[in-house]
Amino acid sequence: MRTPAIMVLGTGSHVGKSMLTTALCRILSQAGYRVAPFKAQNMSLNSAATPEGLEIGRAQALQAEAAGIPASVHMNPVLIKPTGDASSQVIVRGRIWANLSAEDYFRRRTEELVPVIRESYELLATQNDLMILEGAGSPAEINLKDRDIVNLRMAKMAGARCVLVGDIDRGGVFASLLGTLELLDPAERDQIDGFIINKFRGDISLLLPGVRAIEQRISKPCLGVVPFLHGLTLDEEDSVSIEQRTSSMWTEDTSPHRPLRIAIICFPSIANFTDFDPLLAEPSVKVRFCRTAEEMERVDAIILPGTKQTIADLRWMRVSGMDHALLSHADRGAVFGICGGMQMLGSIIEDPYAVEGGGRQQGLGLLPIRTVMAQEKTTREAEGDLLHPQLFGQPIAASTVRGYEIHVGQTEYLGAAEAFACIRRTGSPDEVVLDGCVGRQGRVIGTYLHGIFHHDEFRHAFLASLRISCGLQQPTTFVQWRQLREQQFDRLADAVSTSVDMRTMLSWVGLPWPAARRQEEPCASRP
């Protein structure tokens, strides 16, 4: 017997498919179902490490967390990480499979992956009561539809019932819903059972006539209108969301109580930008993602994040003049690099196997390290201990670090280089590995640990030490990130469960809606 499955499709990218899938995983898990997320193919530079030491899209890791289960590589068997406008690194079941041009992949290689996708899906499905699938982009990309392995073809493979999501905040939601369905073949249209309007602001009574009209036009029901959730601090995958995350420009405030100013360099190929979500949530901090040297003026600290194209993005820094701004700041202020950002802070980066395009580039020379890009990727969760009692020249209250590694670079220490921490990787608890580097009298620090700021104890100590080093007062309030994250999961789930007709959606797959309390409550915002 086939496991019941529901698929969330979208009229385009960034319409909220990932968040709605996350919400459904949370809602249905809380309702007592064993539920797991699945996305056959994901394209994102924002990835996560699974407990078994493999790599998947961050959205599926988030969805697993919402469902209360460990992330598995089978939840996202194919991950595409762009390396340019028309080329990508293809990750299959968490490991590098090939570096391909877009034409090679879509025209010649996708069919090879269908058996892998089917096997991963069936493995997960047999372990769960209900599968929640996520589509990618739009199912109506007519130039790619015959080679699409993630949307309606996947829905058919899983026997999934489909809901189509449109984003009203972007405008044109009715046209996008209608246009999507018009571009599908009749049999494909029949796979879609209803639609949801997402990110609504305003008076719903003004929207309802349009909802009724489009229901009649497409002969499919609206399952609900989900409100726009301001300030939701859950992981996004698309880099377009960076614009929504950045703080306003720095003010002229010279008070010792002013917010700490942290500039994050927004590389063209920035990866894992959600590393900084906890910093954005802290009331004592103002974070800006910066693309020009001018934007980095008057900052207290500069962070170089991860990147999929380390050498290319380092060259971009030099062309833009951001390297001069960074080096000038490093003479007096704090610099912190994560993964590719740390590699750039070193003496040299080499890519002899063309893993990221090939080449050799002098680094910024702020840390005594050398990096060589390898053919095998390190993908592990890790935790460990700091090797120094200070950060940025100030005592630090925390002594432990926690996060995950995703990198192909192998970094070696030069001369009298000092490591940042010693870490133990999940699955290899007896193996101690040196991580990162500290230079410039403790003002410049690098680490391979993504997610390091998600660890409350370290983040609080990091900010306290950094503020003191900048002559600022200690923060009076810190965010408890884990607690806030759980609250945000519940906030998202409550918003969706009270605005979407869950009973009807589950009836599509022959399952009851067991949450009696929600069954009895009226859904005032449901059209």
CB atoms within 10 A of CB 187: 9
Catalytic hit among 25, 162, 339, 470:
339
Tokens of 272: 């894992």
Catalytic hit among 74, 407, 450, 460:
450
Distance (Å, whole) CA 277 – CA 235? 8
Tokens of 150: 């993630």
Cα end-to-end span (Å), the chain: 34
What DSSP string runs through 304-334?
A: E-EES-HHHHHHHHHHHTHHHHHHHHHTTSE
Residue with tokens 């019932």: 161
Is the backbone of residue 88 left (phi > 0), alpha (psi -120 to 50) or beta? beta
The 3-state DSSP class for residue 501 equals: coil
**Residue type present at position 506:** L
Angle between helices 58-67 and 481-497 (to 10 degrees): 80
Which residue blocks in 31-185 are alpha helix, DSSP H? 58-67, 102-104, 110-125, 152-158, 173-182
Distance (Å, whole) CA 380 – CA 424? 10
470 is catalytic: no
Chain centroid offset of residue 328 CA:
31
Contact 16/167 with Cβ under 8 angstroms? yes
**Residues of the chain by 3-state class (helix, strand, coil), percent to 5:** 35, 30, 35
Tokens of 342: 């740390």
Distance (Å, whole) CA 517 – CA 506? 16
450 is catalytic: yes
Distance (Å, whole) CA 240 – CA 296? 21
User: What positions carry a catalytic annotation?
Assistant: 339, 450
